[in-house]
Amino acid sequence: MSEDLWTPHALSNAELSIPELSIPALSDSDGVVAGSVTLIIPTFNEAGNIGELLSRLADSLPAHLPCEVLFVDDSTDDTPAVIEKAALDLPFPVSVLHRESASGGLGGAVVEGLKRADTDWIVVMDADLQHPPHLVPELVGEGERTGADLVVASRYIPGGSRAGLAGSYRIAVSRGATWLTKGLFPRALRGISDPMSGFFAMRRAVVTADALKPLGYKILLELAVRCRPAKVAEVPFVFQDRYSGESKSSAREGMRFLAHLAALRSATPLARMIGFGLIGLSGFVPNLFALWLLTHAGMHYLPAEIAANQAGVLWNFVLIETLLFRDRRRHRHWADRIGRFVVLANADLLLRIPLIALFVGRFGMEVLSATALALVTTFVLRFAATEALVYLPRKTRSRTRTARPTRS
Ligand code: GDD
Ligand code: MN
């Protein structure tokens, strides 16, 4: 084997296309070998764990399992240099992909690794030894044995436990998050008792890396929901204590997780419309609260109604931006988006009255049913208009632009 296969590469963002990450000696003409594994390990300031991790991996990986290790690193400490040093006498190739900007956090790092892996299997694990390295061959072996596309290391099946999850608070949060997630995705997560696990093996062929939009920690959830592996298996594991250093997850990670759930759940138009409706209903709370404040401050109830309605509209805007159209906001300036959103929300109110008059006067409907129908109609119209006029990327304009000579 040539020298550079044994040497880690520290890469900057400018050098992201790195074909030499595959192991030519082990690949067939398609670049894929049965049973070959890329171990993707995301790292953020894990210098104290690298030596122990690599030596335990060296003890655990059987000689017949063609395996390469790829660290995807966002560290601000000397983790890449430590990896480089520790990797020198290992029986498997080790690479480091260092990213200049940590986009997508832990999940974004794993997706960068997935894009570069061309082995049969990928295994994702943490660097802090909370995931026992000796289970790596077992995960892949279970997949080969059962024909599963995804094998999850689970804390919640017999033989598994969450010994290393620090404190009852974190245990409760983890349990709650698991229930919520399983409740939201009963079909995609069937057979997965631990969708929050960060330790799993997946067949590379099942991973559609381009369809992934990871957000924070829950990369297994992202893969299970967006790639829909046909068959899943689980292997129990005991979540260990961290070997060195501290967890990088924070309260902000919790918010990202909720945003991630919302993004996954609202991938279809119908689901988005339901989300839009639920957010709209929640807007009654700030609306009524503002109305109460303003009328108590002595404002006449009619202008107060109009002003309070804007409070509800703003509330809706913030939730819709962060939960529903998070990945479709960039093509318009926020001031443009909020302007359009407010106009549409108020147009909805203005349209409702003539619509009710039409239903009652022309079609002879009851006032109550006319109002209900008008509510539903303006709701659907407002949803469609908000999607089309606020959040739809402006494709046609860029097409006409390329057809014309550009002016600058
Ligand atoms: N590249 C990169 N970028 N790596 C990161 C980042 C990042 O922004 N944030 C964290 N990591 C790396 C850490 O260095 C570590 O190797 C691994 O991701 C897990 O990070 P921890 O900070 O140790 O996470 P945890 O122990 O709180 O959470 C783990 O267990 C949870 C189950 O309770 C993770 O595996 C979660 O995915 C899992 O849900
Ligand atoms: Mn950890």
Whole-number pLDDT of residue 171: 82
Confidence at residue 215, expressed as pLDDT on a 0 to 100 scale: 84
Q: Which domain holds residue 89?
A: 3-246
Same domain? 197 vs 286: no
**Quick one: CA dihedral 254, 255, 256, 260, positive or negative?**
positive
Angle (CA) 123-124-128 rounded to 5° is: 130
Cα of 373 from ligand 2 centre, angstroms: 52
The DSSP 8-state label assigned to residue 241 in this structure reads: P
* pLDDT tens figures, 216-243: 899 999 999 999 999 999 999 999 999 9
Q: Are residues 183 and 38 in the same domain?
A: yes
Higher pLDDT, 281 or 5: 281
In ligand 1, the atom with minimum distance to the C-alpha of 45 is 14
**Residue range 192-217: average pLDDT?**
93
- Name the closest ligand to CA 41: 1
pLDDT the model gives residue 402: 41
Question: What is the model's pLDDT at position 164?
Answer: 66
Between 243 and 63, where is the model more confident?
243
Ligand 1 near 75 CB (within 6 A): no
Per the prediction, the chain carries an average pLDDT of 86
Q: Are 183 and 72 in contact (CB under 8 A)?
A: no
pLDDT at 255 over 70: yes
Please write the tens of the pLDDT for every residue from 29-55: 444 445 799 999 999 999 999 999 999
Clarify whether residues 133 and 172 are in a common domain.
yes
> Where residue 23 falls among pLDDT bands split at 50, 70, 90?
very low
| Domain-embedded: residue 383 | yes
Question: 189 and 71 in one domain?
Answer: yes
Q: Are 99 and 130 found together in one domain?
A: yes
**How many domains is the chain built from?**
2
d(CA 297, CA 327): 40
Instruction: Tell me, using a 6 A CB cutoff, whether residue 60 lines ligand 1.
Output: no
pLDDT bucket at 368, cuts 50 / 70 / 90: confident
CB 270 within 8 A of CB 383: no
Mean pLDDT for the stretch of residues 208-222: 90
Identify the pLDDT of residue 3.
Answer: 34
The pLDDT assigned to 9 comes to 45
Residue 259 lies in a domain: no
3-state secondary structure of 124: strand
Residue 402 lies in a domain: no
Please tell me the least confidently modeled range out of 22-31, 257-266, 293-302, 332-341.
22-31
pLDDT for the residue numbered 329: 85
Q: What is the pLDDT of residue 268?
A: 86
Is 102 within the bounds of a domain? yes
Q: How far apart are CA 69 and CA 52, in angstroms?
A: 14
pLDDT > 90: what percent of the chain?
62
pLDDT for the residue 395: 60
Higher pLDDT pick, 52 / 394 = 52
Q: What is the pLDDT of residue 165?
A: 65
φ/ψ of 265, rounded to 5, equals -70, -25
319 has pLDDT over 70? yes
Same domain? 227 vs 311: no
CATH of the domain at 229: 3.90.550.10
Residue predicted with more confidence, 372 or 95: 95
Hey, whose CA ends up nearest to atom 25 of ligand 1?
247
Ligand nearest, relative to CA of residue 197: 1
Q: Supply the pLDDT for residue 293.
A: 95
